[in-house]
Amino acid sequence: MKNILVTGGAGFIGSNFVRYLLKNEINIHIYNLDALTYAGSLENLDNLPDPSRHTFIHGDICNRELIDQLFRQYAIDTVVHFAAESHVDRSIFEPDAFIQTNVFGTFTLLEAAKRAWLENTPPIPDVRFHHISTDEVFGSLKEDDPAFREDTPYAPNSPYAASKAASDHLVRAYGHTYGLPYTLTNCSNNYGPYQFPEKLIPLMILNALEGKPLPVYGDGKQVRDWLYVEDHCEAILLVLRQAPLGESYNIGGGNQPTNLEIVENLCEILDEVVPHSPYKPHRQLIRFVADRPGHDRRYAMDIGKISTQLGWKPRHSLAEGLLATVKWYLEHEEWIAAIRQRGDFKAWMQRNYAQRGEEK
């Protein structure tokens, strides 16, 4: 691993990974390709450790000429592919960009990797395409179903999940048909620093700080398997260093709280760390709103394979991770102010909640 193309490295997990990689791999250079959609921001890349080993490229993963040029110019030997449209609610209102970026963009990258690495004689050695995916490709679990394993059949329910499933299938197909060296990880819900506040945890923190309603979809009893983002980054680096090619791994936090429990937990933390808040107790801000159409009930990841083969397990408990996350948002007012200024963000929030309304 020397010249790493990270896609989507100005987004939430990608920017955390760029930081983590610069800290933990001293002999690599990162080429960070990001289109800076509403979800990506150069502010996420402020104060990188050793920024001389990081080159930012503003561009689209669907741009074939650009990707070909990057592979040639920088002798890319490793791809870590995060770039995606990632928000389920948006995929319900506007699925087009999900198909374009998640499916066509992944296809464009795979084609470029094939051309650069395999269509040489002899093929370039020691290369790897690592694809970042989600637990949502496996569909929804009932209360007593066992957790998703790597061999659980795909059953995506939202346009987002379907587009990610399609991209996973393309990656496998390029491995199977052309021999493209790849690995794949499917991870559960991440949370932590730099997460865009359209997702549950940062949205609740930011709304609570302003005394705005905390909108819980449906009955709030949906279950997600929350993982602190740094633990995800550690798992990805372990896979890059040690995992055999052609393998996929499930990654998850081993937590099973309901959404309502998460929101109540955040309210309790805020009551503690912002003791003079006029909105205390913050739980009074909770509102039940109309449910997400086709809302998946429960996700849970069986992490037996990555634990046994690579020795990974999450380091942060949910309680530690949530506290660290609340504190990070409290300490990053400028970052929050910059995000709030974005016209797209305001328009999206208004549209999302205008359509949902309040249930009771």
Binding site for ligand TYD (CB under 6 A): 88, 189, 199-200, 203, 215-217, 222, 224, 259, 292
What is the smallest separation between the CB atom of 306 and ligand TYD, expressed in angstroms? 21
Residue from the set 32, 48, 67, 86 that interacts with ligand NAD by CB under 6 A: 86
Q: Work out what residue 200 binds among ligand TYD, ligand NAD, none; the CB cut-off runs from 5 to 8 Å by kind.
A: ligand TYD
Q: Work out what residue 84 binds among ligand TYD, ligand NAD, none; the CB cut-off runs from 5 to 8 Å by kind.
A: ligand NAD
Instruction: Return the closest-CA partner of residue 299 out of 95, 117, 158.
Output: 158
Q: Looking at 77, 136, 234, 264, which residue is catalytic?
A: 136
Instruction: Return the closest-CA partner of residue 283 out of 300, 298, 266, 297.
Output: 266
Q: Which is nearer to ligand TYD, 45 or 263 (CB)?
A: 263
Determine the straight-line distance between the first and last CA of the chain, rounded to whole angstroms. 54
Measured from the Cβ of residue 341, the count of other Cβ atoms closer than 10 Å reads 9
Q: Which is nearer to ligand NAD, 238 or 285 (CB)?
A: 238
Q: Is 249 a catalytic residue?
A: no
Q: Is 68 a catalytic residue?
A: no
Q: How far apart are the C-alpha atoms of 335 and 71, rounded to whole Å?
A: 32
Instruction: Return the closest-CA partner of residue 171 out of 58, 79, 252.
Output: 79
Q: Looking at 160, 249, 299, 329, which residue is catalytic?
A: 160
Question: Could you say whether residue 325 binds ligand NAD (CB under 6 A)?
Answer: no
Question: Could you say whether residue 84 binds ligand NAD (CB under 6 A)?
Answer: yes
Q: How far apart are the C-alpha atoms of 21 and 29, rounded to whole Å?
A: 10
Q: Work out what residue 105 binds among ligand NAD, ligand TYD, none; the CB cut-off runs from 5 to 8 Å by kind.
A: ligand NAD
Question: Could you say whether residue 187 binds ligand NAD (CB under 6 A)?
Answer: yes
Q: Work out what residue 39 binds among ligand NAD, ligand TYD, none; the CB cut-off runs from 5 to 8 Å by kind.
A: ligand NAD
Strand partners, 32: 6, 56
Q: Is 77 a catalytic residue?
A: no
Query: Distances in Å between the alpha carbon of 259 and those of 246, 248, 305?
Result: 34, 28, 27
What is the smallest separation between the CB atom of 135 and ligand NAD, expressed in angstroms? 7
Where do we find the tokens 């933990």?
A: 24
Sheet architecture: strand order including 248-251: 54-58, 29-34, 3-7, 78-81, 128-134, 182-187, 248-251
Going by the DSSP 8-state scheme, the letter that residue 152 receives in this structure is S
Q: Long-range contact list for 238-243, CB < 8 A, 24+ apart? A: 238/306, 238/310, 238/311, 238/312, 239/130, 239/183, 239/185, 239/306, 239/310, 240/1, 240/78, 240/80, 240/128, 240/130, 240/183, 241/1, 242/310, 243/183, 243/309, 243/310
Q: Work out what residue 283 binds among ligand NAD, ligand TYD, none; the CB cut-off runs from 5 to 8 Å by kind.
A: none
Q: Work out what residue 110 binds among ligand TYD, ligand NAD, none; the CB cut-off runs from 5 to 8 Å by kind.
A: none
Question: Could you say whether residue 60 binds ligand NAD (CB under 6 A)?
Answer: yes
Q: Looking at 135, 230, 264, 296, which residue is catalytic?
A: 135
Task: Tell me which residues are annotated as active site.
Answer: 135-136, 160
Sites of contact with ligand NAD (CB under 6 A):
7-8, 10-14, 33-37, 39-40, 60-62, 82-86, 101, 105, 132, 134, 164, 187, 189-190, 196
